[in-house]
Structure 1
């Protein structure tokens, strides 16, 4: 019964929810952890017989094994989604996960960069690597300018296609999570760097079959990997002597933070980031309050009275 239910769940997530393969695999893994726990606990029941008490015991079990609170919360989300699917399909009469509570996790504010730190990282692009290839320098500059200017996820940046560039209208089409498209405005600086990369370097490069429409290419004419972008940004941050924990996602956080600090409407920021829920975007209002407090501490003469 578990195998048939998991197979149906997988199809549902892919066909009806249009989730990414990575997310589907994570949800499936969550359900299999539950099934494994029930076997080890001597309760090899099917999903139609699982109780809330058994779900709570499973959560305690993974916590005792060392799973962090945030990982527990993510696993519970997967289990809830699984049982909601079963109930919608009339495979179970009662949803045991409806009252399953996730552990309280402190909301961690993500690291972000100042405008000066962004500039410092991009200024180090010519110093990256040993060969100092002008094509790679221009590609990396265009890549980072685009990620920061448009608030892209790294997967969206490496998957960006020539056919998604609409510079005459001042925007790009981005394929986000769950294959959902959104339109994102793009600034003149990023457009200029992309055009220079395309006109002076990319059009003369050998391009691998199947990668003709991919914008950012590696030396072999294939699209960049997410790991490659991560390594590039880590090294550039080191060269810029920035001690923060930097990743490609930091550019996205910085994009959103600078918008909110500048007074942008939260719904507009949500739209540009491609967040499904406004709750996800609201974290940047917390960042904004932290920023305002820091400004008061540093510059208001009466704050320390």
Structure 2
């Protein structure tokens, strides 16, 4: 089973004759093509192999353990606008556009899911509950989510089941002193020119922290560990249904997406991304907060987990329903 997880989360293929080389190759490839997006020197002009440290969300395994969201006859009278940004609809929930930093760890599955859960709890409370849900707690304690090694990749569907049955405590970013279990892995540089420590310098020492059944923040006095857990009532999957995804975001908040990262994507700087590489890096988990149209190209507005130095202040736009990366294949969310 362990070997299967590694194969799924970190395997790659080369299609056609495209060379496997460093990210500088893709910067030149994208920018010379004068396409819908611009590339830049992120990840220290690194190799494709190095980039595999920063992905780790499975797209296929266990997806059927969550019910598929039944959309027929549901909310079909809701008018879908051409542009939507959840952070503008729910301005009291400032976390919606907050780009977390997964560090040099393949914890995107945990970071994206807890980020979605944070937003939905805030929205459901009318903006009165604003505590961040702990990626640390999910990453370290949901062994079944990641075959016991959270930094080596994990799974959204099982993580949602965990959030329903076990619950997740609160916890903010690294060194934030917010919540019960803040993130223990320090931020690092995901873009050229960043003032943060290079992610490369943290490897190979980065390992999944141990699961702790106690609050790690000594200044947190609001709840005991056992009383701090937050839950979802139910969780669902949406597959390749654009309008259902849009209506869900409009009504209850951001959703989690798992998609295939190819070697050009880490170089993203601006514009509407669509795949221009055939070199697969791995699966990645992110949060969709809205959509729009730019220069005639429809896109999703997405929050990544590579801090605010990467992309457009930590966000990116990706072509809607046609990016070539199975972006809408496994959209998931919890009802709080």
User: Which TM-score band (shorter chain)?
Assistant: under 0.3
Normalised to the residue count of structure 2, the TM-score between the two structures is 0.23
Which has the larger Rg?
A: 1
Please state which structure has a larger fraction of its residues in strand: 2
